[in-house]
Structure 1
Amino acid sequence: MTKNKLAQPFLKWAGGKRQLLPEIRKYIPKKINTYYEPFLGAGAVLFDIQPKKAVINDINTELINTYIAIRDHVDELINDLKKHKNEKEYFYAIRDLDRKEEFKKLSLVERASRIIYLNKTCFNGLFRVNSQGHFNVPFGKYKNPQIVNEIVLRAVHNYLNSNDITILNVDFEKAVENAKKGDFIYFDPPYDPVSDTSSFTGYSLYGFDKDDQIRLRDLFVELDKRGCKVLLSNSATDFIKDLYKDFHIEVVSANRNINANASRRGKIDEVLVMNYEPDR
C-alpha cells in the first residue's frame, strides 16, 4: 500500500515532531513487525511512517477520543465541526464546557469536535489543561483558522481503517506490554525541562517528572532485552544523556514554535536515543 500524504496531524501539539521528521526518518528501521507509539500526541511520526500494523497510545483521554471519533464517525465529526464559530465569546463558552456538569453528556463526536475546534482557534494552537484537567488556553484571534480540514480528517480515517491499528488510552508501560522481538517502539515523552521555568507537561493531568523519566529508561532497557528496536526523543539535558549513556545517542537541532515566550522559540538541542546501529 502506498502512503497517503494527506494523512497527517490534524492538531497542533506542544512537542510535535514535524520539525524533527527529517532526522527521525534516518533512524527508522527498514523492517518493522508491529510499530508502537506510547506517547502519540498529534501523530506526526505515525503518519510519516504509516505502518500497516501499529499500537498507538496516549494518556490524554480527550486526544484519544478524537482519534476514535475520526476512525469510527468521521462524517458526523465533519458535520459537527461546521457548527463552530471563530468568535471570542463562543470560544470561551466551548472552552469552559469541561467545567460544567453537561460536559459528561457530550457524545464522543461532540467532544472530539470541541478539541479540534479549540486547538484550531486557541492561542498558539496549544493543548493545555490545568491541575483540574480543564482546558485553559486563551482565544487566539486568528482571522481565518481552518476549523474543518475535511481532506486530512478523511485521509486519517482511511489510514486508521485500512490498516491494523490498535488505539489505547493507558500508561506508557502498559501500552508496550505485548511488544516483542522484531517490533519497533518510538518513545516521544514529555521532555525533560531544559530549565526550571520551561517545563511544559500541561497536556494531561498526569505531569511527567524525573521519576517517570527513570521509569521510561528502565522500560527502554527491558524492551532492548526483549529484542525490540527502540528509538526515543528527548531534550539534550545532562540528566537524559546520563540516563541513556549505554545506548547510541544522536544530538539533533529542532525548531520549537509553540512557546508563549517568543525568545524561547527557535533551535534547541534534542537527543535521539536508539538501541541499535542506524541503517546507513
Structure 2
Amino acid sequence: MTKQRSFLKWPGGKLRVMAEITAMLPAGKRLIEPFVGSAVVFLNTNYPSYILNDKNQDLINIYECLAELGADFIKQCKRYFTPKYNDPDKYYLLRDKFNKTTDTQKRAALFLYLNRHSYNGLVRYNSSGGFNAPFGRYKKPYFPDKEMNFFYNKCKILAKVKFCCEDFSKILQKAKVGDVIYADPPYVPLSETAHFTSYQPNGFDLKAQHKLAAMVNKLAEKNISVLLSNHSTDFTKEIYSNATTIKEFEVQRFISCKVAERRKVKELLALFVEDKP
C-alpha cells in the first residue's frame, strides 16, 4: 500500500512507522488526534470521522484554510515557490511579514513557504512566539501540489473532519465510546540534557506527560481505546505500565542539523484498551 505524505515538513512525522501504527490502531467510528502534527495518521487511515487538534495555531490555520478553500488556497501558496523567493533576503522579509500579519490566509500561505524553505524544514519559534528558523538554501524547494490536493479531497469527500486548537486535555474530554484516540505528544527526552520543546512556543514537560498518561488510563476504563507514541525510556515504560500492549522498535531520526547525529532511536507504541472479563 502506497503511503500518503504530508504536504508539510514536520519533526516527528509518522510516515516511516505507519505500518506499526495502523497494525495497532483499533477500528472505530471516529479517530481523535490531540497532537495531529503533520496529519500523516489522518491521511493514511480510513475512519468515517476525525477530530484533528494541535496547540500550534499556525498548523491548524493552514489545515483549515486548505480544507475550506482548496484550489484557490493552493494557488495562493504556489506564488511563493519561484526562484524570486528562494533567496535569503526575500526569505527573511517574508518571515518578518509572517510574524506581523493578522490575515489568516496570508499567514497560512507564508507558513507553507517558511516550512519548505527553512533550514532542514525546521518549524521553530522564539519565546515571544515569533517564527525564527533560518533560511535553508535549497536549490529548488518542492511545492506539494499533489499532497495538498489529497488533503483537501479527504476533508471534503472521504471523511468528516473537525479541526481544533486546544489543550490536549480538553480534546480528550470529547471522547465517547466508539471513538479511538491516537496520541503523539512531544516526546520525552532521551537524556537529561536533551531539548524536546524547541519546535513549539509552548513546552510539554514531564508533568504534562504524567497528566496525559493518567487521562489515557481513565479513558481505557470507559472502553475508549487509546494508542500512544513516545520514545522508549524507563520513564515512558513506567507511566505506560498499565498499557494492554507495548511494542518497541527503532526509528531513524532526520531532524538533527548534524548528519552524524541522525541516528536510530528506540520508540514505543502503547495501546490502552479495556480489559475484557
TM over 0.5: yes
Matching residue within 101, 111, 114 for 2:110 = 114
Q: Report the equivalent of 1:24.
A: 21
Amino acid at match of 1:49: T
Residue pairs, 1:2-13, within 5 angstroms: 8-13=5-10
Answering whether residue 182 of structure 2 is matched by residue 186 of structure 1, we say: yes
User: Alignment partner of 2:174: what SS?
Assistant: coil
Q: Report the equivalent of 2:93.
A: 93
Q: Report the equivalent of 2:256.
A: 259
Residue pairs, 1:197-276, within 5 angstroms: 197-247=193-243, 248-276=245-273
Instruction: Give the 4+ runs in structure 1 shifted more than 3 A.
Output: 5-8
Amino acid at match of 1:89: D
Note if contact 2:229-2:270 (Cα within 8 Å) is conserved in structure 1.
Answer: yes
| CA-CA distance at 1:99 after TM superposition | 4.3
Note if contact 2:123-2:133 (Cα within 8 Å) is conserved in structure 1.
Answer: yes
Q: Report the equivalent of 2:154.
A: 159
Q: Report the equivalent of 1:37.
A: 33
Q: 1:6 to 1:188 in 2, by over 3 A?
A: closer
Note if contact 2:98-2:107 (Cα within 8 Å) is conserved in structure 1.
Answer: no
Answering whether residue 69 of structure 2 is matched by residue 67 of structure 1, we say: no
User: Alignment partner of 2:15: what SS?
Assistant: coil
Alignment length (residue pairs): 268
| CA-CA distance at 1:251 after TM superposition | 1.0
Note if contact 1:186-1:232 (Cα within 8 Å) is conserved in structure 2.
Answer: yes
| CA-CA distance at 1:75 after TM superposition | 2.5
| CA-CA distance at 1:182 after TM superposition | 2.2
Q: 1:241 to 1:128 in 2, by over 3 A?
A: same
Note if contact 1:6-1:151 (Cα within 8 Å) is conserved in structure 2.
Answer: no
Matching residue within 173, 177, 182 for 1:177 = 173
| CA-CA distance at 1:231 after TM superposition | 0.3
Amino acid at match of 2:88: K
Task: Please give the root-mean-square deviation of Cα atoms over the aligned residues, in Å.
Answer: 1.7
> How many Å separate the matches in 2 of 1:198 and 1:124?
19
Note if contact 2:3-2:44 (Cα within 8 Å) is conserved in structure 1.
Answer: no
> How many Å separate the matches in 1 of 2:107 and 2:46?
26
Amino acid at match of 1:14: P
CA distances 1:13-44 after superposition (whole Å, capped 9, x unpaired): 11111121121122121x21111001000011
- Give the alignment's TM-score, normalised by structure 2: 0.92
Q: Which runs of 5+ in 1 are unaligned?
A: none
Amino acid at match of 1:155: F
Note if contact 1:128-1:135 (Cα within 8 Å) is conserved in structure 2.
Answer: yes
User: Alignment partner of 1:251: what SS?
Assistant: strand
Amino acid at match of 1:47: L
Q: Which has the higher contact order (CA 8 A, sep 6+)?
A: 1
| CA-CA distance at 1:7 after TM superposition | 5.5
Identity percentage of aligned residues: 35
Amino acid at match of 1:239: F
User: Alignment partner of 1:19: what SS?
Assistant: helix
User: Alignment partner of 2:44: what SS?
Assistant: helix
- Give the alignment's TM-score, normalised by structure 1: 0.91
> How many Å separate the matches in 2 of 1:189 and 1:182?
22
| CA-CA distance at 1:92 after TM superposition | 0.7
| CA-CA distance at 1:225 after TM superposition | 1.3
Answering whether residue 132 of structure 2 is matched by residue 142 of structure 1, we say: no
Q: Which runs of 5+ in 2 are unaligned?
A: none
> How many Å separate the matches in 2 of 1:250 and 1:152?
30
Q: 1:257 to 1:96 in 2, by over 3 A?
A: same
CA distances 1:34-86 after superposition (whole Å, capped 9, x unpaired): 11001000011111103221111000001000000100112332222232121
User: Alignment partner of 1:271: what SS?
Assistant: strand
| CA-CA distance at 1:177 after TM superposition | 1.6
